Amino acid sequence: MEYIDLHAHMVSRTTDDYERMALSGCLALTEPAFWAGYDRRSVDVFADYFDRLTDFEPKRAALYGIQHYTWLCLNPKEGEDRELTQQVLDIIPEFLDKPNVLGIGEIGLNRVTRNELATFQDHVDLAVAHDQLIHIHTPHLEDKYKGTKTIVDALVADGRVQPGRVMVDHAEEHTLPMILERGFWTGITLYPTTKTSPGRAVDMVERYGSERICVASACDWGPSDPLAVPRFILEMRRRGHGEEFIRKIVLENPAAFLGQSPKFQLPHARAASVVG
CB 155 within 8 A of CB 161: yes
Mapping DSSP to helix (H, G, I), strand (E, B) and coil, where does residue 125 land?
Answer: helix
- Amino acid (one-letter) located at 185: W
Per-residue model confidence (pLDDT) at position 272: 43
pLDDT in tens, 7-20: 999 999 999 999 99
pLDDT of residue 254: 98
What pLDDT was estimated at residue 273? 41
Q: Do 138 and 186 contact (CB within 8 A), yes or no?
A: no
Residue 83: the pLDDT is 97
The reported pLDDT for the residue numbered 70 is 98
**pLDDT at 141 (0 to 100):** 75
pLDDT score for 140: 84
Which residues does the chain have with pLDDT short of 50?
269-276
Question: Which DSSP state fits 2?
Answer: -
How high is the pLDDT of residue 68?
98
In 3-state terms, what secondary structure has residue 171? coil
What would you measure as the largest C-alpha separation in the chain, in angstroms?
52
Looking at residue 275, its pLDDT comes to: 42
Give φ, ψ of 30 to 5 degrees: -120, 140
Domains of the chain: 3-275 (3.20.20.140)
C-alpha atoms less than 13 angstroms from C-alpha of 40 in its C-beta half-sphere: 22
